[in-house]
Structure 1
Amino acid sequence: MMNKSKDSNNIPDLNGPKASPRSIAMGAAFLMAMAAVGPGFLTQTATFTGQMGADFGFAILICIVFDIIVQMNVWRIIVVSGKKAQVIANDIFPGLGYLLSFLVAVGGLFFNIGNVGGAGLGLNVLFGISPENGAVIAGALAIIIFVVKNALTVMDRTVQILAVVKVAILLYIIFIMAVPYQAAVHHTFLPTKIDFYSIVTIVGGTVGGYISFSGGHRLIEGGMKGKQNIKYVNEGALTGIGIASFIRVLLFLAGLSVVVTGYKLDPTNPAASIFKYAAGNFGYKFFGLLLFAAGMTSILGSTFTSTSFLDFAVKSKNDLQKSRKVLIISFIVISTVIFYIVGSPAKVLVFVGAANGFVLPIALAILLIASVSKKIVGDYHHPKWLIFSGWFVVAFMAFASIKTVIGLF
């Protein structure tokens, strides 16, 4: 059976052994938000803003609603059961956990290809080297970070600082630009065009694949288990979605303020061109630094969470540490090689969000089935509104994903 050994669930806790439930929840919220707000997030938002203009606001609105539904369902069920998602899946039907692990790991690999590409784009902006060579440098740095003891804690603090700086820069750009707020609000609620591909992509890029479970698994690793912690689970989920959504809206408004002037975003690096137009060379270079940092932290988050789904066959802590290191290095190397061969970083960053949008309905359906199983959640009664809305998201994302695929041919 999957994860019989207690050791196979041991991923280092960033909060420490005496963290309060609220601090654990906030740690999970930040992890989830920063896992979402990576280079793919920035590139996808800029790309669709350039293509759709104010109508993209509707996709963002749908994304926020879906994000809340998904994370409230996933976090609650994982914490109440006290088990990781792959273990829950195996409890529902023997072998289902292996399928979920495969889907999340493959989705995480797609994401990591985009993350490596994003970091490469950042170095391209900063130093003018090719995105492919920048990706190789980023991949090598990520491997070094993983083999250095306690480096993840330092990286976590760095991400927090850069997140604040990122928001500050976006607020500055919005302040100096003429933002068409009226058009943005009008088209958000009354769009003239609805693009399913954009919805699938940004929902998949925010709560698809491994990101769905990063926060929930973080809560489990912090020792938060049982229905008595629902209050903190809700706070963490809503905070994480709030952070990611706030940054998405800021970037959308910044991009829209540029697009309405008639300026065409550079398709090879659309997000960077927003900053370059709005804040000149300084904004362009500084965005390169932020994009590189977002890429690096997303590489770490994607690799760390995705490989945690592949530890079910490990029987001891020592074996876990050895196998995890091999998995991590292999994961990064494969991601980097694929990106180096494929290239087209901006296109890859948009595509990976859509790919993870396919994983979401399957993963969410598994947890919704678990939510009504007494064997898994005991006497806990999952809110009916979350169950019904959760199945609606499953149906919509499955339909939109199929429609998107049909539209590609």
Structure 2
Amino acid sequence: MNIRSIWARIKAHPLTRVGPGLVTGVADDDPSGIVTYSQAGAQFGLNMLWTMPIAYPLMSAIQLLCARIGRVTGRGLAANIKTTFPSAVLFCLVFLLLIANVLNIAADIAAMGEVAELVTGINWHIMTAFFVMLTLALQILVPYHRYVFFLRWLTLSLLAYAAVLFTVHVPWGEVLWSTLFPRFSFNPEAAAVIVGIFGTTISPYLFFWQASQEVEEMKGHHQVDLLSENSATIKSELRRMKWDTWSGMLYSNVAAYCIILATAVTLHVAGINDINTASQAASALKPLAGNFAYLLFSLGILGVGLMGVPVLAGSAAYALSEVFGWPASLEATPSHAARFYAVIALSVIGALVIQYSPISPMKALFWSAVINGVVAVPLMVAILILASKASVMGPHTAGKILLFLGWFATALMAFAAILMFLG
């Protein structure tokens, strides 16, 4: 079998035909998210596993609403907010999103650099710069239809966390019981971890990314918005989005569940209860679970980081471009969407500069979480209003169950944000 036939088989694989839901879901488990899930497992053992089954339908509902808004209207989330809400609301939300994303990228690339140093022995600053240049080159120089092909294959990196569970002893009976009936005291420490889990699982940058990617997919397939489509196409597209989003978020949440479980049955059991960085989580696994588990965990961090950083930078670029009416597409060349690509470049390079500043990656991650907590609630309210307005969605407004889950998720995030500030 020659290389050409192998490449043809790869391009024909079903994985290359899935929609934005899978990429969005995997990007949610970025290196900073892995730190949060690892800390939950290390600190509370099996008793934080319940958060993932709760988060799954709520996260899926919000992401599906964002996907529907993008595909039905043919415009991104910021563009729809711009036409419905006061300019001050839009500017405030997008400005805070941009700051939070840069800080989040800083934490992510620092984690990737540190883990790469553990694996290769090369200085983490050098590895961080390498990952920054790699992600920028992919986004700016490679057309979207080719770039997203590689992103979809990178989603397989999350399987590393399921594979880790085959290298360690897992008491499955206790796992099931603890998932359904957790035992812990609801104190400030537990509240902080729960807030962190829901905050990193339901994240504003994912809202903008998925809506914009539906628009990219629509244009890439030479389609029009659903307000202008025939009934057969409308039904097919709504069904496709539903399947794509729910399955993508399931994959993401199962992976997060596996991370919590892997660290619970290794680090927590060994009395290691405090994890502050992704590299610390990976290196702590080595003497407990062996070199193979350590390598799998490390490669998973690098794989999802290569997905998470472009999504963070891209979501900010889409949002800001829609605010000012700039051309915005990863399919466009840099000469045709110069300001869009400039936002991507400045976001990632700004995050790289933070590595050489007095701001620690963990401090950047903390402030990113705070800002995301501020942005998430009003943004989710805006999404729910948009999805239920006939003037925006025409006859394709969201159903009652989807809206109920969305409002419940919003109330939960509001409660989490209050707890965060009280803490």
By the TM > 0.5 criterion, same fold? yes
Counterpart among 158, 173, 176 of residue 182 in structure 1: 173
**Are 1:255 and 2:263 counterparts?**
yes
Match of 1:170 among 146, 161, 166: 161
Mark the CA change 1:100 to 1:351 in structure 2 (over 3 Å): closer, same or farther.
Answer: closer
Q: How does 1:3-402 map to 2 (within 5 A)?
A: 26-95=18-87, 96-150=89-143, 156-167=148-159, 169-191=160-182, 192-194=184-186, 195-223=190-218, 225-226=225-226, 228=235, 229-264=237-272, 267-268=276-277, 269-273=279-283, 275-312=285-322, 313-314=324-325, 321-342=337-358, 344-345=360-361, 348-349=364-365, 352-353=368-369, 355-402=371-418
Displacement, 1:211?
1.0
| Contact preservation (8 Å) 2:321, 2:340 | yes
Distance 1:61 1:304, change over 3 A: same
TM-score (norm 2): 0.80
Query: How big is the shift at 1:346?
Result: 5.3
- 1:196 is aligned with what amino acid? A
What is the Cα-based RMSD across aligned positions, in Å?
3.0
In structure 2, how many angstroms separate the alpha carbons of the residues matched to 1:350 and 1:178? Answer: 33
Q: What residue ranges of structure 1 are gaps of 5+ in the alignment?
A: 1-18
How many residues of Structure 1 are paired with residues of Structure 2 in the alignment?
Answer: 386
Equivalent-residue separation in structure 1 for 2:343 and 2:244 (angstroms): 29
Give the secondary-structure state (helix, strand or coil) at the position aligned to 1:179: coil
Q: What whole-Å deviation, never above 9, does each CA across 1:232-267 have from its counterpart, x for those lacking one?
A: 121111011111012112222211211353241654
C-alpha distance in structure 2 between counterparts of 1:24 and 1:289, whole Å: 21
317-326 vs 99-108, which deviates more? 317-326
Q: What runs of 5+ residues in structure 2 fail to find an aligned partner?
A: 1-10, 227-233
Q: Which piece of structure 1 moves more, 251-260 or 181-190?
A: 181-190
After TM superposition, the structure 1 stretch with the greater mean CA deviation from structure 2, 270-279 or 321-330, is 270-279
Contact 2:48 2:179 in 1 (8 A): yes
Q: 1:146 to 1:380 in 2, by over 3 A?
A: closer
Shift of 1:26: 2.3
Q: Distance in 2 between matches of 1:188 and 1:347?
A: 31
Contact conserved, 1:26 with 1:239, CA < 8 A, in 2? no
Shift of 1:357: 3.5
Encode CA deviations 1:70-95: one digit per residue, 9 max, x unaligned.
22322223333332111211222231
**Retained in 2: the 8 A contact 1:209–1:360?**
yes
Q: What CA distance in whole angstroms lies between the structure 2 residues aligned with 1:55 and 1:374?
A: 43
Change (3 A) 1:106 1:188: same
Distance 1:25 1:404, change over 3 A: farther
Partner letter of residue 220 of structure 1?
Answer: V
Shift of 1:46: 0.7
Q: Displacement, 1:24?
A: 9.3
Percent identical residues: 20
Cα distance in 1, alignment partners of residues 265 and 107 from structure 2: 26
Question: Following TM superposition, by how much is the alpha carbon of 1:354 offset from its aligned partner in structure 2, in angstroms?
Answer: 5.3
- Residue pair 2:100, 2:369 contacting (<8 A) in 1 also: no
Give, in angstroms, the shift of residue 347 of structure 1.
6.1
C-alpha separation between the residues in 2 aligned to 1:73 and 1:50? 34
